[in-house]
Amino acid sequence: MVHACSTAQATAVSGTASAALDAALLLIPRVGFLPPRDPRVLGTIEAVQRELTEDGFVLRYRPEEVDDGLPGGEGVFLACSFWLVDALAGAGRRAEAVALFERLLSLRNDVGLLSEQWDPRARRQLGNTPQAFSHFSLIGSAMQLHHGRAHRSNTAIPSHAPAPVTTGSIT
């Protein structure tokens, strides 16, 4: 933990050899590594909003700060933006989380599908469409906002499904 946090920034960082910010750090409270209202988590949320957003949506990281071997020019990653929804909700910033969630929903195409990325300048979907990670993240955020649970992913969400019907033993 000593090497995974920047005391200068009061945030988590992407690795021991780098102070680069990565949106995956928003998952720290989701996996139970730190509580959602820990000062380091709150600092990470603020840093992501300040340094990794374009038009309110989240970049995975700044390509100019990370040598990933890929050409630049990517859009914002929709899954990362849903991770911000989850982090905001966990931090008690529900209204902000709901507003971002609703903006993300507005990016769906004519049949309700999301792509991997969004280009905020051209205002169009980019990358793989449909993208399972985007949809999986949408579902997780919707469940957390609905059930008021924006913390550890292993927390049970109540089921309202009917009990299975038993017909007795087959002989």
- For the residues of 113-134, what is the DSSP string, one character each? ---SEEETTTTEEESSSS-HHH
Question: What average pLDDT does this structure show over 97-118?
Answer: 97
Residue range 15-42, pLDDT digits in tens: 545 678 999 999 999 999 999 999 999 9
Instruction: Please determine, for residue 67, whether its predicted confidence score (pLDDT) is greater than 80.
Output: no
Please check the confidence at residue 163 and state whether its pLDDT lies above 60. Answer: no
Closest C-alpha to 52, from 16, 26, 32, 18: 26
Q: What is the pTM of this model?
A: 0.78
Q: Please say if the pLDDT value at position 96 is more than 90.
A: yes
Q: How confident is the model at residue 73 (pLDDT cuts 50, 70, 90)?
A: low
Number of residues assigned to the chain: 171
CA distance 75 to 113: 17
Q: Which candidate, 117, 17, 114, places its Cα nearest to that of 59?
A: 117
Q: How far apart are CA 32 and CA 41, in angstroms?
A: 11
What is the predicted pLDDT for the residue at 35?
95
Tell me the average pLDDT across 131-139. 96
pLDDT value at residue 167: 60
The neighbouring-strand residues paired with 118 are: 76, 125
Average pLDDT (74-85) is 95
